[in-house]
Amino acid sequence: MSDSQTASASDLPRAWPFEEARKLADHVATRSSTGADERPALLETGYGPSGLPHIGTFGEVARTSWVRQAYTALTGRPSRLLAFSDDMDALRKVPDNVPQRDMLQKYIGQPLSRVPDPFGTHESFAAHNNARLCAFLDSFGFEYEFASSTQYYTSGRFDAALKRVLEVHDQILAVILPTLGPDRRATYSPVLPLHPHTGEVMQVKMDGIDPVAGTVRWTDPATGEVFETPVTGGHAKMQWKADWAMRWYALGVDYEMSGKDLIDSVRLSGRICKILGGTPPAGLTYELFLDEQGQKISKSKGNGLSVEEWLRYAPPESLGQFMFNQPQRAKRLYFDVIPKTADDYLTHADKARVLQSDNPTGNDLRANPAWFIHKGIIPDDAGSPVPFGMLLNLASVANADTPEVLWGFIRRYDAAVSPQTHPMLAELVKHAIAYYADFVRPAKTFRAPTDKERAALVDLAETLRGFEGEATDASTLQNLVFEIGKRHAFEPLRSWFGCLYEVLLGQKEGPRFGGFVALYGVPETIALIDAALLRDTQA
């Protein structure tokens, strides 16, 4: 499909990256309709390195990469992804989660690329955070080009666009000033000169604009000294909304997504981009990630999960699944979302392997999150024969502190399964041990059964004794558990399963119980029930 051929909604896989890819294809087709601009589509993500990179930054790159993947599938045309770091921005406050905070306090107002690295590993604070960003993007295999604002400004890459800003300076002011309060309005300029003596990023009123010379004239409010500063060569930078617009214009950005908190900024930057003579990019407005208390996560506060924390408890594919799910809906980003997200990924991976075998170019496969997470090719060993939630429950009842404990049950359940044949399962076992130790074991609370529940549990144990020594599959055992719940008139039936989880496992939710019995073992489950009933009588 060429970009002159716009796919209808019914032609596209039912996945949001393809909807975004169509918007991108339309945008590229419009700007190249004259045949004068045949460059690859340029997708951009922005990063403010004032705090350590967090999982939201990863999410933006991941989601933009999936739009790029869909665009390639849709059009066959080349594209680029630019991960742009605004490392020339000023340090406005000291983050809470870094060392040497007193030292950093002395550099408030300095460009981040000139602030010393409090970790002592890089030439600047920005360089440290940029390296962190690139390290975890590289670890996920993203294909991107890293761009430094400092390098682009100082190399002259933005010089022509900056001179254009001076030509339309008053028009930009007319867009921005109505959005500001009286005090800020009095001193606002889209241009921020760097102080020639202190290096500080100056937020001062411009006394004069010279578009021909490419300079601005301003007064140091502390000393009264007047300076004339070129806007080119890294001697000045732009206020961020104007900077965003200037970047779109200078680089010809075709697509950039942003968070819901930036809706007004996107609108203003789009107007400024048009004033400069450019076309604002297409893009998606995504919802924000929330912490345990429902507050927006913040780089400076460090109140969200880090990539490293997530990967202690689940494989990277599960993080991709979390980012893929409904980007326009706000989601809590906390430890308790990890198990379900991991199992969501496993379910999609299992389906995707079948779809890849049956119809490798079909829309059903391309609508599957695993197709995006695995960059279009689903590995044969993706997925797991045992869900993550089941492993957590097995770790819980076995009080497992090493992977070998879980593998003992898994091998008995299926002798053909091993860490070598199922590497994803091997990874999940390790994660389940860590998650159980940190979150499940400390929170376990068993309750006593009611009289009705006690009778049903006794019935379940007696019925299971009839299956001892037999090879019984999970489906048969699940039907058995259902029948006992119905026999004892549990209404609704899910209250019977709530009893099993709370009385036997010490938690509110759990796995398909038949599958759990098959994995844990019939004799072991009988012993688990007997122990729970005995515990109740001794309480």
% of the chain exceeding 90 in pLDDT: 80
pLDDT of 320 reads: 95
Sign of CA dihedral 82, 85, 88, 89: positive
pLDDT tens for 258-305 read 999 999 999 999 999 999 999 999 999 999 888 777 777 665 565 667
Q: How far apart are CA 392 and CA 491, in angstroms?
A: 28
Helices within 140-230 (DSSP H only): 149-154, 159-167, 169-176, 182-187
Mean pLDDT across the stretch 441-447?
91
Lowest mean pLDDT, pick from 31-40, 154-163, 331-340, 511-520:
31-40
Q: How far apart are CA 327 and CA 304, in angstroms?
A: 17
Q: How far apart are CA 49 and CA 149, in angstroms?
A: 11
Half-sphere exposure in the Cβ direction for 24 (13 Å, CA): 37
Q: Is it the case that residue 69 has pLDDT exceeding 90? A: yes
Lowest mean pLDDT, pick from 27-36, 260-269, 277-286, 388-397:
27-36
Q: How far apart are CA 232 and CA 215, in angstroms?
A: 8
Query: Which is higher by pLDDT, 360 or 80?
Result: 80
Q: Is it the case that residue 146 has pLDDT exceeding 50? A: yes
pLDDT of 10 reads: 62
Mean pLDDT across the stretch 492-517?
92
Query: Which is higher by pLDDT, 180 or 3?
Result: 180
Mean pLDDT across the stretch 503-508?
91
Contact between 484 and 463 under an 8 Å Cβ cutoff? The reply is: yes
CA angle 299, 122, 103 (to 5 degrees): 65
pLDDT band at 174 (very low <50, low <70, confident <90, very high): very high
Angle between helices 55-75 and 16-31 (to 10 degrees): 70
pLDDT band at 5 (very low <50, low <70, confident <90, very high): very low
Q: Is it the case that residue 1 has pLDDT exceeding 50? A: no
Mean pLDDT across the stretch 79-105?
92
pLDDT band at 140 (very low <50, low <70, confident <90, very high): confident
pTM: 0.88
pLDDT of 205 reads: 93
Mean pLDDT across the stretch 526-534?
94
pLDDT of 33 reads: 65
Q: Checking phi first, is residue 465 left (phi over 0); if not, alpha (psi -120 to 50) or beta?
A: alpha
pLDDT of 4 reads: 39
pLDDT band at 87 (very low <50, low <70, confident <90, very high): very high
% of the chain exceeding 70 in pLDDT: 94
Phi–psi pair at 62, nearest 5 degrees: -60, -50
Mean pLDDT across the stretch 165-173?
97
pLDDT of 303 reads: 62
pLDDT tens for 182-211 read 999 998 999 999 999 999 999 999 999 999
Mean pLDDT across the stretch 345-350?
97
Is 301 annotated to bind ligand? no
Q: Checking phi first, is residue 324 left (phi over 0); if not, alpha (psi -120 to 50) or beta?
A: alpha
Q: Is it the case that residue 3 has pLDDT exceeding 60? A: no
Q: Is it the case that residue 8 has pLDDT exceeding 60? A: no
Q: How far apart are CA 432 and CA 190, in angstroms?
A: 51
Lowest mean pLDDT, pick from 238-247, 469-478, 525-534:
469-478
pLDDT of 304 reads: 65
Lowest mean pLDDT, pick from 44-48, 53-57, 391-395, 425-429:
53-57
pLDDT of 533 reads: 94
pLDDT of 37 reads: 63
Contact between 287 and 260 under an 8 Å Cβ cutoff? The reply is: yes
Q: Is it the case that residue 2 has pLDDT exceeding 80? A: no
pLDDT tens for 103-122 read 999 999 999 999 999 999 99
300, with CB counted inside 10 A (0-12, 13-18, 19+), is: middle
pLDDT of 460 reads: 97
Mean pLDDT across the stretch 85-102?
90
Count of residues making up the chain: 539
pLDDT band at 459 (very low <50, low <70, confident <90, very high): very high
Q: What is the CA radius of gyration of the chain?
A: 29
pLDDT of 491 reads: 94
pLDDT of 379 reads: 94
pLDDT band at 9 (very low <50, low <70, confident <90, very high): low
Contact between 269 and 245 under an 8 Å Cβ cutoff? The reply is: yes
